[in-house]
Structures are given as structure tokens and as C-alpha cells.
Structure 1
Amino acid sequence: MKLVERWHELAKELAPSLPGRWSLRGRGDLTALVQEPWDWTVRWIGFERSSFSEEGWFQAAVEPLVLEQFRWARTFGLRMDEVQGGPRRVDLWSDDAGQVLYDFAHNAALPLFDKWTVEKFAGAADRSMQRPVEQRRPPYYWMLAPGYRVVLDTGSPEEPLRQVIDYINEHGKFTKSLPFYEELLERWQAGGRDEALRFLEFDRDRKLEEAGLTRVIDGGTA
């Protein structure tokens, strides 16, 4: 059995103990337990292998779906070695690997998921918008503001979009994101919220497809 297959085995053993419906999704080494149904965030639990051995770390995160790409990022997440009092890493072949995963998921991941709801992302984004641009630091919550204003129908995304576009053009950061924000602004100007929301829904589906999240893994193989 390969390491990735062992991870799949442990993940499928964990899934019934989690609240709601979970499935193993992704492709290759980028596979994770994902909560369904998703809306405008993805909640996932995964495994990251060490570069130096077959040991590694369980990890969990919430990823917003109003950015231009799905990154499998831990910006709004954590790894098991960041949990106080927990094991620093895990050997998936050990007898207690399943228990280590269970403890991480229930004691660390689930509270994290409760923290980062769509509404809390949107609130953090709008609070960030109230500060001068030069005082906004990573994580760049304010870049979530345009999308979540459209999704939640809480106001015009036009000013946040103009700020994001100007920032990218002036600083040369996040240049790959520029077409996404420019397209969202064009859609908003052309058709208001309805047109902007259709674009975000289409783009969300594209990102999930590219990340392999539309594909359920059966039989423990990727």
C-alpha cells in the first residue's frame, strides 16, 4: 500500500465521525476530506508529507471561493504541529495514526471551521477596507470584500474592486488575479448583482474542477 492510499484509508475511517457529510476529493497528492455541500467556502482536512521521511502532518483549512484560484492554502487553517500539546508529526503506518487524526479533526479542525464562516470572512474583509491601503497587511482580507459583497448582497463591490485593481497595478503583486477582478467589475457594471453573481458562480465551478474537488475518490486511489 502506498502512503497516499494509507491516507485515504484513514480519512475514510474518520469521515463518519464528523458532523455533516464528508467525502475524499482531489487528485494525486492533493487529496483531502471535504465537507459537503460547499457554498462559498471549502472546509477540508488533509495530510502533508515530510520531504525527508514518510512521516508528516495532518492539516485543516477553510478556503474562500471568491478569489481567482483554489490554492489548498492554510491561510485560514492550521497544521497539527501548531496545536498546543499535540504530537509534532505522525507516522501514517503507526497503530495510533487513526486516533491522532481523530483528535486533530475533532479538537482542532472543527473549532477552526466554526470560526471561519462566510459571514465572518465578509465582516473581516469590510473591516479591513476601513483602514488605509498601506496599513493593510497579510492575510489580505480586503481582497475578499468584492466577492462577498456580491454573494451576500451587502452593497456595491465597485469601490473595493477599484482599490484592488489599483493596488495590483501599482505594486505588481497578485498580478495573476488582475483579470479576475477586472472581469468582476465589468460584469457588475454591465448587469449589476445578477450578472456579477453569475460570473462568481461560474468561476467557482471552474476553480473546483481544476482542483479536482468535483471528483470523489473511491477505493482509496487517486
Structure 2
Amino acid sequence: MRLEFIDVKFKKQIILPKEYLEQLPKKVMLFLNIQFHDQYESIKKQLESCGIIVHTTRPKHAWHDGQILGCSVEDWSAVDAEGFVYIGDGLFHPKALLFKNDRPVFIFDPKTEKTRVLTREDITAIVRSRQGAKATFLVSKQVGVLITTKYGQSRLEPAIKLQEKFPDKTFHFLLADVIDFSKLEDFPFIEVFVNTACPRVMDDFEKVPRPMVNLDELGIVW
């Protein structure tokens, strides 16, 4: 089946409020949702007009500089920035910037025109869950490996490498298009799950019947 991805554009012009600009650090990285991205240059100029140095980059899997995806969990410590500027709605995307970076995320929602600052404290529960899941994996023998057939998320070959790296464990490979947490109850013998799909699946850890760890957290490159 052929898939087409069509961008939906936000029609209203985005003007960053003065009080938002005044709270920003002098060096930032700029990220936007795709529906706001056609105003990227305009927003960048607004920031620069206030003396703010704006660093631009293109995350993995993104089509444009500054485009943020939910799976954009990357380490930006090499960039000389003191924080992130996120233009978009919701908290799912900006939280992705915090998993490997201890810098604040300054949010401006063009739809509500509200602002907010996120820090590492806002993902504490998720981080603790991941740490606990990894510890459980290391002492477990029966491991379920979740593999999706979704385009861009299917990682069968890296998943198979688990058998080589951890020969003392028994791996059960579970393949599906959509990962349905409720279906995982059908495998009561599995002690821990390894997620090879979108790493942000882990955000819903409370819905998973047993601990779940991401593949990259086990030292296997996606």
C-alpha cells in the first residue's frame, strides 16, 4: 500500500511575544512542528533581532532544519547553546529534547499563545522507569522483543543482534504493525520487553504490563 504524507500548514502568522523573548538565553537551538515550519525563517529572524544566537540543525529522520519529530531523541551537547526554543503545541515533542540534554526547553504554543518552560524534572518518572527496566533486563532470562512493520520504525536486523550480545537469555520476537500493550498480557512467561520501534513508546510505561527497555539503551545502534 502506498502512503503519502501531506503537511498541514498553520495559517496565522506567528509573532513571538515580548515577555517570551525576554526570558530566553542568548544562545538557543530552534525547533518547530512541521505544521509551523514554513515560518521557520521568520521566527529565526525575530530571535536574532533580539540579539539571540540561533543554532540550526536537522535531526535524524527530519526533512528540514529545525523540524522536530517525536522520535528526535538526540544528544545536542556539542552545540554551543544554553537552551531550546520550541514552537508548537503539546508536550510530546519538546520532551524529546530533554532525554539526552540537560537544558531547558522554552515553549511557545502558536495556537493558544501560551508559554511554558520544561526541564529534566518534567521527565523524571519516565527516566526512572527506563533505569528500572534496564536493571530488570540484566537479570531476566525470558525476554520479549517488540518489532513493528511500520515504515521507518522496523528494525529487525538490529533486534536479532540481541541474541549475539546476550547469549545467556532467551529472546521471543513479537512482530506486529501496531504495538498493542494489552496484547502483551498474552505472554505471562516474559519477564521484560525490549522495544525496537519508536523510542517514545516508553512514555506510556504505565500501560505496559512488565518493564520495557529501548534497544539503544542496551548498546545496540539502531
Bigger relative CO (Cα 8 Å, ≥ 6 apart): 1
Structure 2-normalised TM-score? Answer: 0.32
Structure 1-normalised TM-score? Answer: 0.32
Q: Which has the higher strand share?
A: 2
